[in-house]
Structure formats: structure tokens, C-alpha cells
């Protein structure tokens, strides 16, 4: 059969094989083989046996996944900060302390606890308005103003020129700096708990006392415009006929939300409409989105800030005398325009208040100029809560911990210390009331707050000694208000420390579960001698029995001792029970156990690398420089591979091994050119992932990368198929047409995206957006829909030749020989490897699409390295060692960094959710973000079975067990890293760098482990089933 002849169909191939065999048999009239009937029955039995073994392996690894999830959950729930949420509400008629002077409290119209200052308020949130955006930039040579400098001068100018009408102050956010968390802080006045950070994707209603609820209960009409996060937090509180909410997650859209807010807010401010509302909340998102999309250092940011400046000028023109105007940022943004963490740039927002009538003042003339940096005279974001409550005559929300802002209460002359002392006392008294309730609810003793209580007594004593006399001096009153504020500050710091409490038993039990699971997996992956597919059923059965017994025991204990936390007890006993169960399973097959410690140099290299990596996570510098350390490990592996290849006896193996090892090192080096630096790596690191260090868009030249990938890479990978003569059948169509076309479309997607970003075709933005979304969906369809149907239905990538005796043929192709003719199967030697590796190429296409241009290059290199690794493993005969799965783990971890990620919250490329979709759709949007973030680890995990299948003939026994062993080893690598980062995070929980470095690394490790578990089980092991069935169909089952 020559190359031009039409390729046989799936059945056709089997038929051709059978026909050729039959012809050969007839020609040679040997007739000594088993009868066809018996053979068919044995074959069927082999297939059934395979399917059952495979199903058991899936169940076994799923069970490991469940244990990982339980361990991680238990640790995380003890590790992340917890706070008791009090249900109490403040009431207008019940001030926290007797009200000074002749004022009668209880009327929202006059002011609940204190006479109100304003009737109405317009509160504008400019999302991510960083403090340094709002103050003039005074360049020191050789610095030049950036795009974000001097673009919104109005706030500063009014504060300087009209200090009685306006003030501007740094406004410090409590991390995590995500909008949802900030809005909670800005309305309740309390501190965030870390667990809440994860719920940013789906906000839930606030169940604590808050300013919006207080306004609503006082029958104030609240209008909301802009970011729809508010509706998730405060469902039903807004005037539905006037309110307009907009989707907040489309970070690539800079204008829809802003234009919507502006369009609706000005008619409402118009004098003819002011009677329809009491408070307007306008939430602009353009600045934040410009940051996410372009970074602060971009003309789009200048334009956005100019637009905001213009809006505020117009608002001030229209404002009436009794309305307060507040403008603030909910957080800042880092150098790339992202936020979420606790770096200075992320927490430093701006606060500006404005009143037409003279209301505000400064206690010192030097305060007339707003602070030059956010380090001077900052106010906390929670300070807005008591300030706004008192100014609008509302009670202070029950859980508030903030303090009143001096500028708002000191009076136009800057000397109304009576007023300042009164509001400081009210605020402190509410905090005192809250503290008493909290202490009662949590069962705390008074020793933790002894200092705070004595500060409270001092302040009260000073107040009482004055007896409210009218002739108190400014100094005395100033002293009193400082004393109350000292109590507030002390309580705040106590709460910060208190809510940083960890539930150590939970954390320890979580670590124990992870450690025991690790031992189980280690023994399974490296300590079993024999066919894993045959040993797994007994382990699984015992494991399930243990799980059930453990769960029952936990239930029993938690009912018997009701003071124990039930969920904690049940999870712990279930996990320990199931591991105890599997241990009896291991005991049962103890003759098959061998030492899991390696017995070769290569094995020890793997152990050393993994242990070194794990130990290193104890040091912040190691964690910060993880990307560079992985680079060195991978290069070392390549060099060892080359040295080992030199020692091979077979000259072809020697040459191939050396070539692929050197290629592996070179590719690692090229990939290392792509970097995204984390803040702590500065100034010793240059980011190249985006156009510049201050940008979050790709440079135009980087578009060449996806095109290069599309034109060259399929040829390179094709050569691995050609090398073993497996470039046959549907794989030809795939490489030469579908894959290449998909890659070109993906490059086209990023070209359109750049065109859209750079506004190359003004007026066609909408068209570009629609086109690129369609293109992205098309690429996914090619990669996964077309890819999977090809993968599922195609025959092994082989070709069959029948030759008469005498024709020369190379030794690795002949399967049946003897007599006068021979059947030659081209690609026989690598039938398993080539068939399975198709899956890697499909997922490569899907992952490439969701990476930015630089990331497409990195993933392309990872793909190429994976195929080189197959060859290195094969030529050095390492497929039975842990080398392949461990190096794939290193490779996945390395390319995680090379695709523009870091173990930080702010490096998550949320906008990738919008590549194939224009709005958030569950579950797809989070899945796309996962595919973007962990694309490298996912691709490497899918490649694991190919390590043992590469260049394996169809009839080899025990291959499925070898696949299980490789997958087990690969998961083991990530499980060690996860256990190490978890233990270090727990151990270093009081470390200064916990939330900057150790905690994000622990969360990354946990998420990677769970992702790799899922991918290894359902994509890799699941894919192996399809591939084995296809090979078995043609060559039969060996049982
Ligand atoms: Zn925000
Ligand atoms: Zn944002």
C-alpha cells in the first residue's frame, strides 16, 4: 500500500490487518492457530477486563482527590480569618451613651444621635481611584509625569482654594482590595475576613448592620447607578424606578458603565428632580477597567481621569446647598493596574468631600494643602461610616470600628472642638457597646481588652470632669476627643489581632490528612511491585469500607460530645478512617510492597529536586524567586539528560538523546525570556510579558509570536510523528489543516484584540468585539469538539503494507514474518504513544487561545519540550522511573510563570473569562480563567500517560498499570509541594509576609493540586481509555 492510496477507515484498518494476516496464513497454509471463535471470546473478555480495571483506577484516583479536598478544606477553614458576625442593629432612638447638652435624640429628620449637617448626599465611587492620581505631580529630574499624573486636578484644586467647602485625604483600604470586600467595609465599618475574598465572583447580601440599611429603615430614598455588585450586597434597598445597574465584570469595556451612570445622574441632580431622592450612589468602573486592561501608564487612563474630572466640575455646578458630595476610590491599583493584595499602591485610595456651603475646616492651617503622599494624615476607609452616618443624621452601624474624620466636624473656622469631642465620644461609645456584645457572644475575657477598657475609663473620666461646661477650653476638648479616638484605635488594633486568630486544631488535622494521603499515594505510586490495575481493587474496597466506618464513628462522636464542632470531627474521622482502611489493603498485599525510595541515580535526582523545592518554600526569598529556581532545575535536568545519553550503547539512542536534551535546555532558556515580575522582585527583574512593566496589554510586536507558533510549531511536532512513521490517517488532517487553522485563528483573535485595544479602527469596536468572540468560540470548537471526535473515532495512526518475501524492511516495522510474504505495519513501534499524544495536541490548541501572545509562545515551547521529553525518556530507558512525571511537574510549574502568572492574587488574568464569551456565564467563565491560569500544569498533566506509552508496541502487557503509576507519581509531586506550602503557611502564620507571600503560595499550591487531580483523572486517564480501546480494537486484547 503506498502513500497515495486512500487511507483505510477505522474498521478498514482492522479488516486490512485481518485480511493480510489471513492471506499470509492461507499462502503459507500453516493453520496451527487458535480457532476464530475462541479468539473472539478471549478478545471480548480482554476488553471487558480492561474497561473494569480502568473504571477502578478512575475511582481510586477520585478517592485520592476527595482526600486532598478534605485536607485542604479543613486546613483552610482554620487558617483563614474568622469573625463572629453580630446580628445587632443600632437604633435611632437608642444612642450608645447619654447625649450631651440639650439635644433630644431619636428623630431621623433632625439627626438621630446628633444634629445632622446635610439633608442629602451624592456618593460617587470611582473604582480604583488611587491617591497619587489626584494630587499634582512634582517631577524630580529625570522623572517625567506619567499618563495617570495631573489628569484629575479638580479635587485637589478645590481642596486648596476652598478649604471650607472641600477636603482631599488619602483613604486607606483594608486588604483584600477587591471591590466586594471594600463595599462591605465602606458600609458596615468593620474589617474583612479573608474567607470572603474568594466570594468576589458571586457577592451575597450583607447580613450586618450597615449604612444603607439604616438609610432605608429611616425611609430615605436611595438611588443606585453603576456597578451591580451593590445589588448583590443590598438587594431591594434601592428605588427601583430610578436605579440602573450594570454588569461589573466586563473589564474590557471601559465606557458602558460610566456612560450609564453619567446619563442618569445629571437629570437627577437637576433642581426639578432633587425631590425624588435622598441619597444617590454612583459607582464608576472605567478607571478600574482601564487599569486592568491597559495599566495606569496608558493614554486611556489619562482620558478616563479627564472624563471624571469634567463630571465632577459639572456636578459641583449643579449641586444645591444642602447636599453633600463625596468622591472616593474603593482601593488603588498596582503598577500593572490590578488589585486584590495589600501593597501600598493597592490600598491607597483617595477621599474627597464637597459642600456648597461652608461646612468643613482644618484644625491647623498647614493642613489646607492635601498630603503630598498617602503616608501623611491618612484616614481609614471604615472612617467613612461614622462620618457619613453623623453628617446625615443616621445612627452609627452597630459593628463599626471607624472614627469620625476631623475635617468634617471641626467647623469652618477650624476650632469647633466641642463638636469634634461630641462625635468622637458618640462613635467611641458605640464601639464600646459593640465590644461588650462581641465579648459576650464569643466568650472572651476582659484581659484581652484591658488596655482598651482603661483608655475608655480615662476618656470618660475627662469628659465627666468637664461636666459639659460651656467654658471648656479648646485644649481640654481637643484632649477629650483624642482620648476617645485613642480608645477607638486601640479597639481596632485588638480586633485586627483577634480576627487574625487561627483555629490551630483544624489546621493540624488538615495537615495530617494531607500527609497521610501523601504517604498512601507515595506507596501506591512508587512502592508497589506488580500490575497496579490488578492491585487497585483491593485497596479501593478496603478504602471505601474504612471511609464508611470513619464517617459513622465521626457522627457518633459528634452526637455523644455535642460541644465538639461536628463538621470538623466528621471530616477528620472520615479521612483517617479511609486511610486506615487502605492501610489494611496494603497489608493484605504486603508481598507486593517494595521500598518506595528510589534505587537509581535518576530516582534520587527526582527526590532531591522535589524535597529541595518543598523546603525552599519556608523562605520568602525562595518563594519570590521560584520562577528562576525552576529554570535552573530544568536546565540541570537537560544537562543530565545529555550526559546520560552519551553513555547509551546504541548510537541512534545516543544521538537522539543528546539532540533532544540540548533542545530541551535551549527551549527552557528561550521560554525564560518571558517574565512577569512580582512586586517583591523589583528592581532585579524586568517584566517582558506585557508591553512594559506598567502595562497590562501586549506590545504590537508580540503579535508575531502566535503567528510564528501557528506556522512553525505544527511542523516541529509533526516530525515526532514522522520519526516513528505514525504520521498516518487522521493525524495528517489534524496537523496540516485543523490544528494549523486553529492556531492561525487564535493568532487572528489576538490581532483583533490588539486592534480593539489600540482603537485602530475607530467606530468598528463593536464589530471587532463580535468577530473576535466568534473566532474564539470557533477555536474551542476545533480544539475540543472536532478534536475529541477525531480522538474518539480515529483508528491508530498506522499504515499496513504487505510485501512478498525478499523485500527489505527495517526491523522495527515487521510484526508478522516468516514464509513467503510479510505484513509490515508502519508506525507499529509507537502505536500507543502516538495515539494518546494526540490528546495533548488538542488541549494545546485550547490552552494557547486563552493565553496572551507572549503566553502563546510559552505554551508552544512547553508543548515542544513535552515531545522532546518523551524522546529523552525513551532513549535513556527511563519510562519506569519517576523522571518523566516529575520533570512534567517542574515544566508545568515553570511555564505557569512564563505564561504571565505569579503566586499573587493580582496576577490572575480575570479578563481571560471574556475571550470566548462577552458576559459572565457559569460554569464557563471560571473554567476559562482556570484554563488561563493553570494552562501549563494542565497541559503537562495531560502528557503524563504518554511518558509510559511512547514507543510501546500494542501487545505490551501491564501498560494500563504503568499509566496509573506515572499519574500517581505526577500527582505525588504536586501533593508534596502542596503539603510543604500548607505546612509553611501554617507554621509562619505570624510572619509579617504571611498575606503577601506565604498565604498566596499556599492557595496556589492547593488549587494546582486539585486542578491537576481533576485533569489527571478525567482528561488524562479518561483519554487513555479511548486510546487503549482504539489500539485494542485493531490488535486485540492480550488480557
Ligand atoms: Zn473596585
Ligand atoms: Zn478592579
Q: 65 alpha carbon to ligand 1 midpoint, in Å?
A: 35
Q: 126 alpha carbon to ligand 1 midpoint, in Å?
A: 8
Give 5-38 pLDDT, tens digit per residue. Answer: 444 444 556 666 666 666 655 555 444 444 556 7
Q: 179 alpha carbon to ligand 2 midpoint, in Å?
A: 7
Q: 182 alpha carbon to ligand 2 midpoint, in Å?
A: 11
pLDDT band per the 50, 70, 90 thresholds, residue 728: confident
Q: Which ligand neighbours the alpha carbon of 251 most closely? A: 2
Query: Does residue 814 carry a pLDDT above 50?
Result: no
Q: 230 alpha carbon to ligand 1 midpoint, in Å?
A: 12
Q: 1032 alpha carbon to ligand 1 midpoint, in Å?
A: 56
The stretch 632-648 carries a mean pLDDT of: 93
Residue 440 CB contacts under 8 Å (≥ 6 apart), including other chains: none
Q: Which ligand neighbours the alpha carbon of 249 most closely? A: 2
Mean pLDDT of the chain: 88
Beta-carbon count within 10 A of 207 CB: 11
Instruction: Output b/e per residue, 456-470; b: 16+ Cβ within 10 A.
Output: beebbebbeebeeee
Pairing of strands 821-826, 799-804: antiparallel
Q: 338 alpha carbon to ligand 1 midpoint, in Å?
A: 10
Q: 312 alpha carbon to ligand 1 midpoint, in Å?
A: 19
Q: 415 alpha carbon to ligand 2 midpoint, in Å?
A: 40
Distance CA(170)–CA(167), nearest Å, equals: 10
Give 71-95 pLDDT, tens digit per residue. Answer: 999 999 888 766 677 889 999 999 9
Distance CA(73)–CA(590), nearest Å, equals: 32
Q: 926 alpha carbon to ligand 1 midpoint, in Å?
A: 19
Q: 679 alpha carbon to ligand 2 midpoint, in Å?
A: 18
Query: Does residue 2 carry a pLDDT above 80?
Result: no
In this structure, of 133-147, 164-178, 548-562, the range with the lowest mean pLDDT score is: 133-147
Nine-digit cell string for 678:
512580582
End-to-end CA gap in the chain: 31
Q: 287 alpha carbon to ligand 1 midpoint, in Å?
A: 9
Q: 402 alpha carbon to ligand 2 midpoint, in Å?
A: 24
Query: Does residue 447 carry a pLDDT above 80?
Result: no
Name, of 14-18, 176-180, 432-436, 974-978, the range with top average pLDDT.
Answer: 974-978
Q: 375 alpha carbon to ligand 1 midpoint, in Å?
A: 21
Dihedral sign (CA 875, 878, 880, 883): negative
Q: 182 alpha carbon to ligand 1 midpoint, in Å?
A: 7
Q: 942 alpha carbon to ligand 1 midpoint, in Å?
A: 37
Q: 935 alpha carbon to ligand 1 midpoint, in Å?
A: 27
Q: 181 alpha carbon to ligand 2 midpoint, in Å?
A: 12
Q: 289 alpha carbon to ligand 1 midpoint, in Å?
A: 9
Report the DSSP beta bridge partners of residue 351.
169, 328
The stretch 656-679 carries a mean pLDDT of: 94
The stretch 493-513 carries a mean pLDDT of: 85
Query: Does residue 901 carry a pLDDT above 90?
Result: yes
Q: 233 alpha carbon to ligand 2 midpoint, in Å?
A: 17
Q: 128 alpha carbon to ligand 1 midpoint, in Å?
A: 5
Q: 225 alpha carbon to ligand 1 midpoint, in Å?
A: 15
Q: 291 alpha carbon to ligand 2 midpoint, in Å?
A: 8
Q: 603 alpha carbon to ligand 1 midpoint, in Å?
A: 49
Query: Does residue 698 carry a pLDDT above 80?
Result: yes
Distance CA(208)–CA(380), nearest Å, equals: 19
Q: 265 alpha carbon to ligand 1 midpoint, in Å?
A: 20
Q: 289 alpha carbon to ligand 2 midpoint, in Å?
A: 6
Domains located in the chain, CATH noted? 37-63+502-511+529-588 (no CATH), 120-381 (3.40.720.10), 600-795+831-1035 (no CATH)
Q: 687 alpha carbon to ligand 1 midpoint, in Å?
A: 25
Report the DSSP beta bridge partners of residue 326.
123, 353
Beta-carbon count within 10 A of 798 CB: 26
Query: Does residue 496 carry a pLDDT above 60?
Result: yes
Beta-carbon count within 10 A of 338 CB: 26
Q: 285 alpha carbon to ligand 2 midpoint, in Å?
A: 8
Query: Does residue 224 carry a pLDDT above 80?
Result: yes
Q: 290 alpha carbon to ligand 2 midpoint, in Å?
A: 9
Are the beta carbons of 972 and 609 closer than 8 angstroms? Answer: no
Give 918-967 pLDDT, tens digit per residue. Answer: 888 889 999 999 999 999 999 999 999 999 999 987 878 889 999 999 99
Q: 355 alpha carbon to ligand 2 midpoint, in Å?
A: 29
Q: How crowded is the C-beta side of 1027, counted as CA atoms within 13 Å?
A: 27
Q: 178 alpha carbon to ligand 1 midpoint, in Å?
A: 6
Please tell me the predicted confidence (pLDDT) of residue 800: 77
Give 407-417 pLDDT, tens digit per residue. Answer: 999 999 998 99
Backbone angles phi, psi at 349, to 5 degrees: -100, 180
Residue 139 CB contacts under 8 Å (≥ 6 apart), including other chains: 145
pLDDT band per the 50, 70, 90 thresholds, residue 612: very high
Query: Does residue 437 carry a pLDDT above 70?
Result: yes
Nine-digit cell string for 282:
454612583
- Higher-pLDDT residue of 437 and 118 is 118
Q: Which ligand neighbours the alpha carbon of 184 most closely? A: 1
Q: 492 alpha carbon to ligand 1 midpoint, in Å?
A: 23
Residue 395 DSSP symbol: P
Q: Which ligand neighbours the alpha carbon of 283 most closely? A: 1
Are the beta carbons of 526 and 218 closer than 8 angstroms? Answer: no
User: What is the H or E stretch that residue 288 is in?
Assistant: helix 286-294
pLDDT band per the 50, 70, 90 thresholds, residue 884: very high
Q: 739 alpha carbon to ligand 1 midpoint, in Å?
A: 40
Q: 1001 alpha carbon to ligand 1 midpoint, in Å?
A: 23
Question: What three-state secondary structure class fits 593?
Answer: strand
Question: What three-state secondary structure class fits 713?
Answer: helix
Q: Which ligand neighbours the alpha carbon of 181 most closely? A: 1
Q: Which whole-number Å values give the CA distances from 773 to 135, 246, 568, 757, 779, in the listed order?
A: 39, 21, 45, 14, 10
Please tell me the predicted confidence (pLDDT) of residue 34: 45
Please tell me the predicted confidence (pLDDT) of residue 947: 95
Q: 978 alpha carbon to ligand 2 midpoint, in Å?
A: 29
Q: Which ligand neighbours the alpha carbon of 289 most closely? A: 2
Q: 247 alpha carbon to ligand 2 midpoint, in Å?
A: 13
Q: 331 alpha carbon to ligand 1 midpoint, in Å?
A: 6
Q: 583 alpha carbon to ligand 2 midpoint, in Å?
A: 49
Q: Which whole-number Å values give the CA distances from 109 to 91, 113, 115, 117, 118, in the listed order?
A: 14, 11, 9, 11, 10
Q: 340 alpha carbon to ligand 2 midpoint, in Å?
A: 8
Q: Which ligand neighbours the alpha carbon of 177 most closely? A: 1
Q: 213 alpha carbon to ligand 2 midpoint, in Å?
A: 25
Residue 206 CB contacts under 8 Å (≥ 6 apart), including other chains: 184, 187, 188, 213, 233, 234
Q: 631 alpha carbon to ligand 1 midpoint, in Å?
A: 35
Give 650-665 pLDDT, tens digit per residue. Answer: 898 899 999 999 999 9
Amino acid at each position: 500500500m503506498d502513500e497515495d492510496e486512500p487511507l483505510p477507515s477505522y474498521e478498514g484498518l482492522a479488516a486490512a490487518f485481518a485480511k493480510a494476516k489471513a492471506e499470509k496464513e492461507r499462502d503459507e497454509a500453516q493453520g496451527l492457530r487458535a480457532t476464530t471463535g475462541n479468539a473472539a471470546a478471549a478478545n471480548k473478555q480482554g476488553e471487558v477486563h480492561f474497561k473494569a480495571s480502568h473504571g477502578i483506577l478512575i475511582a481510586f484516583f477520585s478517592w485520592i482527590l476527595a482526600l486532598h479536598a478534605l485536607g485542604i478544606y479543613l486546613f483552610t477553614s482554620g487558617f483563614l480569618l474568622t469573625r463572629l458576625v453580630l446580628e445587632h442593629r443600632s437604633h435611632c432612638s437608642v444612642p450608645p451613651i447619654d447625649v450631651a447638652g440639650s439635644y433630644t435624640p431619636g428623630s431621623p429628620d433632625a439627626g438621630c444621635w446628633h444634629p445632622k449637617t446635610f439633608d442629602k448626599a451624592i456618593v460617587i465611587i470611582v473604582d480604583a481611584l488611587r491617591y497619587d492620581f489626584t494630587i499634582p505631580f512634582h517631577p524630580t529630574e529625570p522623572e517625567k509625569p506619567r499618563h495617570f499624573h495631573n489628569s484629575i486636578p479638580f479635587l485637589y484644586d478645590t481642596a486648596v482654594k476652598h478649604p471650607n467647602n472641600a477636603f482631599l485625604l488619602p483613604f486607606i483600604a483594608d486588604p483584600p482590595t477587591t471591590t466586594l470586600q471594600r463595599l462591605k467595609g465602606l458600609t458596615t465599618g468593620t474589617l474583612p475576613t479573608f474567607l470572603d475574598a474568594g466570594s468576589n465572583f458571586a457577592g451575597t447580601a450583607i447580613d450586618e448592620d450597615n449604612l444603607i440599611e439604616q438609610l432605608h429603615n429611616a425611609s430615605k430614598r436611595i438611588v443606585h447607578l453603576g456597578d451591580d455588585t451593590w445589588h448583590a450586597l443590598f438587594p431591594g434597598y434601592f428605588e427601583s424606578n430610578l436605579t440602573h445597574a450594570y454588569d461589573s465584570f466586563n473589564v474590557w469595556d471601559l465606557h458602558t458603565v460610566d456612560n450609564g451612570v453619567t446619563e442618569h445622574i445629571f437629570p437627577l441632580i437637576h433642581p426639578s428632580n432633587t425631590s425624588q431622592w435622598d441619597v444617590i450612589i454612583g459607582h464608576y468602573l472605567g478607571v478600574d477597567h482601564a487599569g486592568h486592561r491597559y495599566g495606569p501608564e496608558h493614554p486611556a487612563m489619562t482620558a478616563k481621569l479627564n472624563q471624571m474630572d469634567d463630571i465632577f466640575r459639572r456636578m459641583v455646578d449643579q449641586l444645591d446647598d444642602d447636599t453633600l458630595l463625596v468622591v472616593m476610590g474603593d482601593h488603588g491599583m498596582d503598577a500593572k493596574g490590578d488589585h486584590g493584595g495589600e501593597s501600598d499602591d493597592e490600598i491607597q485610595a483617595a477621599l474627597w468631600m464637597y459642600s456648597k456651603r461652608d461646612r468643613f475646616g482644618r484644625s491647623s492651617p498647614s493642613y489646607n494643602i492635601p498630603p503630598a503622599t498617602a503616608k501623611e494624615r491618612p484616614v481609614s476607609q471604615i472612617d467613612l461610616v461614622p462620618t457619613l452616618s453623623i453628617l446625615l443624621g443616621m445612627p452609627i452601624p452597630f459593628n463599626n470600628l471607624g472614627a469620625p474624620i476631623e475635617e468634617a466636624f471641626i467647623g469652618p473656622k477650624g476650632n469647633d472642638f466641642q463638636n469634634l469631642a461630641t462625635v468622637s465620644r458618640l462613635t467611641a461609645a458605640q464601639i464600646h457597646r459593640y465590644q461588650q456584645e462581641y465579648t459576650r457572644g464569643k466568650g472572651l475575657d476582659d484581659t484581652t481588652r484591658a488596655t482598651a477598657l482603661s483608655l475608655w475609663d480615662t476618656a470618660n473620666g475627662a469628659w465627666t470632669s468637664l461636666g459639659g461646661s460651656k467654658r471648656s477650653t479648646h485644649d481640654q476638648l481637643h484632649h477629650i476627643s483624642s482620648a476617645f479616638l485613642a480608645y477607638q484605635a486601640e479597639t481596632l488594633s485588638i480586633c485586627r489581632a483577634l480576627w487574625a486568630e487561627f483555629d490551630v486544631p483544624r489546621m493540624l488535622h488538615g495537615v495530617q490528612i494531607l500527609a497521610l494521603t501523601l504517604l498512601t499515594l507515595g506507596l501506591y505510586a512508587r512502592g508497589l511491585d506488580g500490575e497496579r490495575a490488578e492491585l487497585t481493587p483491593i485497596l479501593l474496597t478496603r478504602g471505601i469500607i474504612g471511609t464508611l466506618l470513619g464517617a459513622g464513628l465521626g457522627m457518633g462522636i459528634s452526637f455523644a460530645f455535642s460541644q465538639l464542632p461536628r463538621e470538623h470531627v466528621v471530616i477528620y474521622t472520615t479521612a483517617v478512617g479511609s486511610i486506615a482502611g487502605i492501610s489494611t489493603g496494603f497489608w493484605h498485599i504486603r508481598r507486593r510492597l517494595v521500598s518506595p525510595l528510589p534505587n537509581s541515580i535518576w530516582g534520587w535526582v527526582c527526590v532531591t529536586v522535589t524535597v529541595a523545592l518543598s523546603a525552599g518554600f519556608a523562605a520568602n526569598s525562595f518563594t519570590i524567586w521560584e520562577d528562576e529556581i525552576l529554570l535552573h532545575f530544568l536546565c540541570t535536568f537537560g544537562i543530565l539528560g545529555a550526559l546520560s545519553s552519551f553513555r547509551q550503547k546504541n548510537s541512534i539512542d545516543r544521538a537522539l538523546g543528546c539532540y533532544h536534551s540540548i533542545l530541551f535546555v535551549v527551549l527552557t532558556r528561550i521560554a525564560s525570556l518571558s517574565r512577569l515580575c512580582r512586586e517583591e522582585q523589583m528592581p532585579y527583574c524586568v517584566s517582558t510579558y506585557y508591553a512594559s512593566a506598567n502595562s497590562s496589554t501586549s506590545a504590537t510586536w508580540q503579535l508575531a509570536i502566535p503567528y510564528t507558533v501557528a506556522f512553525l510549531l505544527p511542523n516541529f511536532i509533526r516530525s515526532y510523528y514522522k520519526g516513528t512513521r505514525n504520521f498516518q490517517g487522521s493525524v495528517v488532517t489534524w496537523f496540516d489543516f485543523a490544528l494549523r487553522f486553529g492556531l492561525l485563528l487564535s493568532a487572528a483573535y489576538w490581532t483583533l484584540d490588539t486592534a480593539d485595544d489600540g482603537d485602530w479602527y475607530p467606530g468598528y469596536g463593536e464589530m471587532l468585539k463580535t468577530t473576535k468572540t466568534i473566532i474564539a468560540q470557533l477555536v474551542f470548537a476545533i480544539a475540543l469538539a472536532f478534536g475529541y471526535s477525531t480522538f474518539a473515532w480515529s483508528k491508530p495512526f498506522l499504515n499496513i503494507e504487505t510485501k512478498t518475501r525478499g523485500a527489505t524492511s527495517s526491523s522495527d516495522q515487521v510484526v508478522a514474518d516468516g514464509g513467503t510474504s510479510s505484513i509490515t505495519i508502519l508506525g507499529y513501534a509507537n502505536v500507543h504513544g502516538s495515539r494518546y499524544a494526540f490528546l495533548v495536541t488538542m488541549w494545546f490548541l485550547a490552552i494557547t487561545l486563552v493565553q496572551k501572545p507572549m503566553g502563546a509562545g510559552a505554551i508552544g515551547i512547553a508543548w515542544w519540550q513535552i515531545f522532546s521529553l518523551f524522546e529523552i525518556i525513551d532513549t535513556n530507558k527511563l519510562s519506569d522511573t519517576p523522571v518523566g512525571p516529575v520533570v512534567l511537574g517542574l515544566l508545568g510549574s515553570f511555564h505557569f510563570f512564563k505564561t504571565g502568572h505569579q503566586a499573587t492574587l493580582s496576577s490572575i488574568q480575570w479578563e481571560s473569562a471574556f475571550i470566548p464569551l462577552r458576559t459572565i456565564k457559569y460554569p464557563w467563565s471560571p473554567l476559562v480563567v482556570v484554563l488561563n491560569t493553570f494552562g501549563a500544569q494542565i497541559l503537562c498533566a495531560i502528557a503524563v500517560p504518554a511518558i509510559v506509552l511512547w514507543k510501546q508496541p500494542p501487545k505490551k502487557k501491564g501498560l494500563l498499570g504503568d499509566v496509573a503509576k506515572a499519574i500517581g507519581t505526577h500527582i505525588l509531586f504536586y501533593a508534596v509541594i502542596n503539603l510543604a506550602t500548607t505546612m509553611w503557611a501554617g507554621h509562619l502564620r505570624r510572619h509579617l509576609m504571611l498575606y503577601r507571600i506565604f498565604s498566596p503560595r499556599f492557595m496556589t499550591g492547593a488549587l494546582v493540586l486539585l486542578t491537576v487531580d481533576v485533569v489527571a483523572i478525567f482528561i488524562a486517564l479518561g483519554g487513555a481509555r479511548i486510546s487503549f480501546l482504539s489500539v485494542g480494537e485493531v490488535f486485540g486484547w492480550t488480557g
